[in-house]
Amino acid sequence: MILNQVNFSKYPDQLVPAIIQDATTKNVLMLGYMNQEALKKTIDLKQVTFFSRSKQRLWTKGEESGNYLHLKDLKLDCDQDALLIQVTPSGPTCHKGTDTCWAEANTANFGFLTELEQTITERKTASKKSHQSENLPKSYVTSLFNEGINKIAQKVGEEAVEVVIEAKDENDELFLNESADLLFHYLILLQAKGFKLADVVQVLNNRRKSN
């Protein structure tokens, strides 16, 4: 059991740092500290409980605000002296009312794909402006948005066919390149319809819960 593996004795105050991470978005929400009793209560209640250094007592996050952190998973680091705790928050995590203690929005983050989505969003905005000015430079993505949903959907269909064709061949490089093209154009199609990758992930997540 993880409770017996944590090296509390490494710290003079017997408090180990606990990094709190959203189980869905993977964003870091806050940092707290736990002694053995706080960790045990977290495991028993399935709600994150810290040892408050200011109050000098156990403190279940949300006991006053109602913004509990519901326990999903616990991990211990390689030195057994720090915890990574994945949770589902029931509201803003920070006492100042923000989603995280770094004043970040707790939205889904898919790394590079999220950055790519942001670029596509910028090109979509540029497409609206380019309708008003012929002098603005046009990117490939901007031109697709300008041509409309039918053209974008057609490109997704073409790329899907290419993926199927390459899947039957033995050239892995071509298969991966066509797969990248398909994903890229699919992200454009999602935004043309007013959605993001997170919306699709949410559907999949809901299906998992119902199975």
Q: What is the pLDDT of residue 128?
A: 76
CA distance 148 to 72: 42
The amino acid at 139 = S
Q: Is the pLDDT of residue 81 over 80?
A: yes
- The string of pLDDT tens digits covering residues 167-211 is 999 999 999 999 999 999 999 999 999 999 999 988 988 887 666
- What does the pLDDT look like over 115-173, one tens digit per residue? 999 999 999 998 877 655 555 557 999 999 999 999 999 999 999 999 999 999 999 99
> What is the three-class DSSP state of 187?
helix
Please give the pLDDT value at position 19. Answer: 98
pLDDT at position 117: 95
Provide the pLDDT for residue 130. Answer: 63
Phi first, then psi: give them for residue 137, nearest 5 degrees. Answer: -65, 145
* Confidence at 112, pLDDT banded by 50, 70, 90: very high
What is the predicted pLDDT for the residue at 133? 53
CATH numbers and ranges of domains, the chain: 2-89 (3.10.20.810), 112-210 (1.10.287.1080)
DSSP of 101-163: TTS-------THHHHHHHHHHHHHHHHHHHTT-TTS---HHHHHHHH-HHHHHHHHHHHHHHH
Specify the pLDDT at position 36: 97
Which stretch of 31-40, 76-85, 104-113 has the lowest confidence by average pLDDT?
Answer: 104-113
Q: Provide the mean pLDDT of the chain.
A: 93
Which pLDDT belongs to residue 93?
96
What number of other Cβ atoms are within 10 A of residue 137's Cβ?
7
Other CB atoms within 10 A of residue 110 CB? 15
User: For residue 36, which phi and psi values (nearest 5 degrees)?
Assistant: -60, -40
Q: Output the pLDDT for position 42.
A: 98
